[in-house]
Amino acid sequence: MAEVNVQTYPVKQADEQVISPWREAWRTLRKNKLALVGMGIICFFVIVAIFAPFIAPYPYDVGDLKMKNQPPSEQHLLGTDYNGRDVLSRVIYGARISLWVGTFSVIGSVVAGTILGLLAGYYGRWVDTLISRIFDIMLAFPSILLAIAIVAILGPSLQNALLAIAIVNIPTFGRLVRSRVLSLKEEEFVMAARAIGMKDSRILLQHILPNSMAPIIVTGTLGIATAIIEAAALGFLGLGAQAPEPEWGKMLSDSRQYIQKAPWTVIFPGLSIMLTVLGFNLIGDGLRDALDPRMKN
């Protein structure tokens, strides 16, 4: 009986592995030089804020009136202010306040806006009408004026300024999430989840919310820059951080009358605000390019 030779051929494995969307977005972000510059700026200010007690050469709230409005020197690299306090130390500690207010106000806005947007977009009808009308009323006022009104009612303080900034930015995230939910809830995977009897809470948390994270992250990153500017504006008006807290906007307000005699007391806090806002804007633009499929070739 003749033997039959059975020849086997090795199966060629695919060289390319499946790449998750988030990993692909990270690869795209790393190729964006401006986004990397923004990340470098923000990392610098974050490190400065974390290690402020070790970096600052002097206490931020202690000054020498004999050394007031002194120009930059070896003893005081960025000069001193009208109370003889070291400007460099106050700028370093001011990074803590600005980043804290900007980050946590946006987190509060994102959480509240996302919840309201999910409810409005998914359930519709009177729920959507009620929430949308509240958003419309809030958006009818300029954000800074609404924040001023809220702080004026609650009282001037850094915590109330943070709360006011979080409240005025809720409609931005709420309307964004609502629009995403309106488009996603008609998708086949959501209809299939309903057909098998999945609860609404699981559909929202496991299917709709994960698919809405990309625009939320982009808008949130850009929102931190806006929140820092709003916090500086409230501090400049005397409604945010109170003396002797070294908030950058408050520093600008306190030193504006010395702008000709001691311009360094205004230049360095203003430059810090500009660089921080620039960093977040560059990162936000990079994230938009990386996470938005329409921006990819």
Q: Which of 144, 148, 161 is nearest to 242 (CA)?
A: 161
Exposed/middle/buried for residue 225 (C-beta within 10 Å: 0-12, 13-18, 19+)? buried
pLDDT at site 182: 85
Q: How far apart are CA 131 and CA 118, in angstroms?
A: 11
Statement: residue 118 has pLDDT above 80 = yes
Q: Which two tokens stand for residue 119?
A: 């409810």
Q: Which of 13-17, 24-28, 262-266 has the lowest mean pLDDT?
A: 13-17
Contact between 286 and 209 under an 8 Å Cβ cutoff? The reply is: no
Contacts of 226 (CB under 8 A, 6+ apart): 169
Three-state DSSP at 86 gives strand
Q: Which two tokens stand for residue 90?
A: 């106050």
In terms of pLDDT, which residue wins out, 186 or 89?
A: 89
**Rounded percentage of the chain residues whose pLDDT exceeds 70:** 90
pLDDT at site 15: 43
List 290's β-bridge partners, or say none.
none
Q: How far apart are CA 212 and CA 206, in angstroms?
A: 11
pLDDT at site 82: 86
**Most confidently modeled of 61-70, 208-217, 268-277?**
268-277
Residue owning tokens 């924040």: 147
> pTM for this structure?
0.84
Q: Which of 126, 234, 105 is nearest to 172 (CA)?
A: 105
Q: Which of 50-54, 124-128, 223-227, 278-282 has the lowest mean pLDDT?
A: 124-128
Statement: residue 17 has pLDDT above 60 = no
What's the topology of domain 31-295? MetI-like fold (1.10.3720)
pLDDT at site 165: 93
pLDDT at site 92: 92
- Mean pLDDT, residues 275-295 taken together: 80
DSSP state of 261: T
Q: What CA–CA distances, in Å, run from 103 to 169, 185, 186, 254?
A: 13, 30, 33, 25
Q: Which of 21-38 are b and which e, b meaning 16 or more Cβ less than 10 Å from the residue's Cβ? A: eeeebeebbeebeebeeb
Residue owning tokens 């500690």: 93
Cis before 171? omega within 30: no
